[in-house]
Structure 1
Amino acid sequence: MRLWRARAAGAVAGPGAGGSPAPDRGVGPGLRLVLGLAAAVVVAIGCAKFSTIIGPTVLALVVTICVQPVRVGLERMGLGRAFASAVVIVVILVLLVGFSAALVVSVAQFTTLFPQYADQIHAFEQSIAQWLTSLGIGQQQVEALLGSFDPAGIVGAVSGVVGSVFGLGVGLFLVLALIVFMTLDAGYGRVIARRLRPARPLLVDALDAFTASVRRYMVVTALLGAAVAVLDFVALLVLHVPGAALWGLLAFITGFIPNIGYWIGIIPPVVLALLANGWGNAVAVIVIYAVINGVIQSGLQPHIVGSAVSLNQTVTFLSLVFWSAVLGPLGAVLAIPLTLAVRALLVDANPDARWIRPVLGDVSGLQGTVRR
């Protein structure tokens, strides 16, 4: 009787019951990886489709995260939540509108400045053509190569890139409106986090770490970028390089672009210095830029930011390429915050995925295990 009951229980339980676990017939790791990559591609295509909305939204979110401690400090000083939020909003709006106005004026000056050097550009083309001909390149190939160079195209490219970074026009209005609403809603962030923590503690911790990392990265980058912009502007004024104000603003913007921002910011002033004052002036600009950016952005910034980002150089460069392709120039500026957001949601909030943090660049916990 007991034997019959045991056999009946085994038949009801089915294979794998009791001490021997049933084989896992779910989705395998390979298929999960393929499905994850396919989902990532779909999300990336969707983000690119709505980049004009997503980019300004992320920019407004980053600005709101950076100014949150100021609003909290004002509340601790005795100001009401609404009044503290209003003060922060007014300051942000004044700064953004003033920066955008300066950007518009500088770009307008550049569009009228560059055509003044048409003769110098033509002479430079002739010298390049003679040099290529001396190397044995045929006249037709030289003419085809130089014929594709259009100075007016340079003006349009610089104006378009600089203007599109902060989304002048409708994008700027969207950013300003989102900053107002996000700053007002940020006052309830601590209440939401406190109520969400019992159910999702890992998610709350990941989001707290994300906001702290983004705030430190953006504030330090902005302050050091402003110092670089001012020093570059003064140096260009001393060297009598045309458009010094625009190149100072460009140096500030490109300071947020990892890896290649320095090279984007140095090319236009070097070209203008060469056209206006000759090779010696252009070399002086290169040397001064190398010293200023080398000391501040390559020496001070990595040391100050430290472990706030915890992304290695490969991941940083790939994030720059990816977000630039998805969101355009604004994606290049916001590449690090966007990557930190993805890491917070997919890695930090998931205990099973935290093993990948050292692969991404967080090697702080491995330093003691590395053999010397």
Structure 2
Amino acid sequence: MWWARRRSKSDAEKAESAEEAAAAEATAAAATHVSPHRNAYILMGLAGGAVTAFGIAAIGGIFAPVFFALVLTICVHPLRIALEKRGVPRGLATGSVITAVTLLLIAFGYAVLVAFTQFAELLPQFKDQIIAWGQAAANWLSSIGINADELHDIASTFDPSSLIGFLGGLIGGLTGWISLLVIIFTMLLLMAMDAGFVPTLLQQLYPVRPLVAVSLVSYGSNVRRYMVVTTVLGLAQGVINWIALLIIGVPGAFIWGLLAFVCSFIPNIGYFIAIVPPIIFGALVGGWPTVIAVIVVYGVINGVIQSVIQPRVVGKAVSLSQTITFFSVLFWAVVVGPVGAILAIPLTLLVRLLLVDTNPSMSWVRPMLGELDETKAVMADFDAQAKAERKARRAVTRAASKNEAPAA
């Protein structure tokens, strides 16, 4: 009968409302359930992070080359896999990997040596111009009311040979060439030999800790994709800058092209570091037209390679927000040194691996770190809904105006 149908419908509505109320109560209970020691845990975590950062800084001379060797080992690991699949003995594959990395490092070291030699020959040629530029800058500062006596003294006593000696001492102090190379090559040798066991170790780890095994594989893949793509695109960027500076007529084009290649590994601020020297030397030889040409060339090359090509190729390998990326460059540069700025992304991905990727209860942090696929989809829905509401309001406004027009 109709009253029975109405009653059954009423019961269903009551049951549905009861379920919604229970779900709301459960959500509220979960939201209000907070550990009484929450603040203590936060303070302990911050203290642990500070101690870890100071500890890494204390052993930065060892940590930086060891981690650099680890990144190199990760990058060349596919070469080992490809050789072993073709039947190459494991020992020969290990030797091939070590040889490939050694040749790359030797080639880069030779390029740095050539660039430093050219810089040592280039700087004395512009001694008089640099002094004149410094005095002109001091005069301009004095004209606007800034005391520039110290700048006058520096410009008048400028000696290129002292700057070259300072740069040589700085480079030697930062890297510690002998100890650095010994650590890198030793760790490369040992890591290359141990890397042969990694696939089997991951297979043994997966049944016990599947999330850890998957996270380790993902970390290696992401670091490899980021470093290889950045290296290839940075090399292209350096070569293009080199050729462009040669055409423009900026002295030391090879030096600044190599600098652009190195700075391509420093996100966000590497471009600004790489463009300063060619602007200065361009201004010395060509004035403002050359400066504008350098800025335009660097801006176009950097915009196309780092803003268009690199994000498309790297894809989701680096799921970090722009803010975290910039902060990571500053943080690791302070903790580890200049090498930390170059390895900032792999180091930050390592921290994310240890604290987030291998911890199932921390998956909620991923969107705040930079994994924004779901967030972008939600924002797209919100935008579409807001757009539809605006159209509806416009339609109502137009209809109301049309109805008021005849009455007027």
Measured against the shorter chain, the TM-score band is 0.7 to 0.9
Q: Does 1:257 align with 2:266?
A: yes
2:110 corresponds to = 101
Deviation of 1:160 after TM superposition, in Å, equals 6.3
Deviation of 1:246 after TM superposition, in Å, equals 1.6
1:216 corresponds to = 225
Deviation of 1:282 after TM superposition, in Å, equals 2.4
2:212 corresponds to = 203
**Among residues 170, 178, 193, which one is paired with 2:187 in the alignment?**
178
What is the percent sequence identity of the aligned residues?
45
Gaps of 5+ in 2: 1-32, 384-408
Deviation of 1:93 after TM superposition, in Å, equals 0.3
Contact 2:135/2:151, CA 8 A, preserved across alignment: no
Judging changes above 3 Å, is the alpha-carbon distance between structure 1 residues 216 and 114 closer, same or farther for their aligned structure 2 residues?
A: same
Higher relative contact order (CA 8 A, sep 6+): 1
3-state secondary structure, aligned to 1:358:
helix
Q: CA separation in 2, counterparts of 1:147 and 1:34?
A: 50
Q: CA separation in 2, counterparts of 1:303 and 1:213?
A: 14
2:240 corresponds to = 231
Contact 2:239/2:257, CA 8 A, preserved across alignment: yes
Q: What pairs with 1:56-205 in structure 2 (closer than 5 Å)?
A: 56-137=65-146, 141-147=147-153, 152=160, 155=164, 168-205=177-214
3-state secondary structure, aligned to 2:148:
helix
Greater helix content: 2
Deviation of 1:275 after TM superposition, in Å, equals 2.0
**Among residues 284, 307, 314, which one is paired with 1:298 in the alignment?**
307
The aligned amino acid for 2:119 is F
Judging changes above 3 Å, is the alpha-carbon distance between structure 1 residues 146 and 310 closer, same or farther for their aligned structure 2 residues?
A: farther
Deviation of 1:97 after TM superposition, in Å, equals 1.2
Judging changes above 3 Å, is the alpha-carbon distance between structure 1 residues 131 and 289 closer, same or farther for their aligned structure 2 residues?
A: same
Q: CA separation in 1, counterparts of 2:355 and 2:141?
A: 53
Q: CA separation in 1, counterparts of 2:198 and 2:37?
A: 39
Name which of structure 1's ranges 259-268 and 298-307 shifts more when overlaid on structure 2: 298-307
Contact 1:233/1:247, CA 8 A, preserved across alignment: yes
Superposed CA RMSD: 2.2
2:60 corresponds to = 51
Judging changes above 3 Å, is the alpha-carbon distance between structure 1 residues 65 and 161 closer, same or farther for their aligned structure 2 residues?
A: farther
Structure of higher CA gyration radius: 2
Structure 1 length-normalised TM = 0.87
Deviation of 1:365 after TM superposition, in Å, equals 2.8
**Among residues 374, 384, 391, which one is paired with 1:365 in the alignment?**
374
Residues 249-290 of structure 1: per-residue CA shift (max 9 Å, x gap) = 111110000110000111111112222333322222121111
Contact 2:138/2:151, CA 8 A, preserved across alignment: no
Judging changes above 3 Å, is the alpha-carbon distance between structure 1 residues 312 and 163 closer, same or farther for their aligned structure 2 residues?
A: farther
Deviation of 1:60 after TM superposition, in Å, equals 0.6
3-state secondary structure, aligned to 2:320:
coil
Contact 2:83/2:93, CA 8 A, preserved across alignment: yes
Residues 81-124 of structure 1: per-residue CA shift (max 9 Å, x gap) = 11112112111101101211220221132123212211101211
**Among residues 19, 42, 57, which one is paired with 1:33 in the alignment?**
42
Q: CA separation in 1, counterparts of 2:304 and 2:358?
A: 36
The aligned amino acid for 2:150 is A
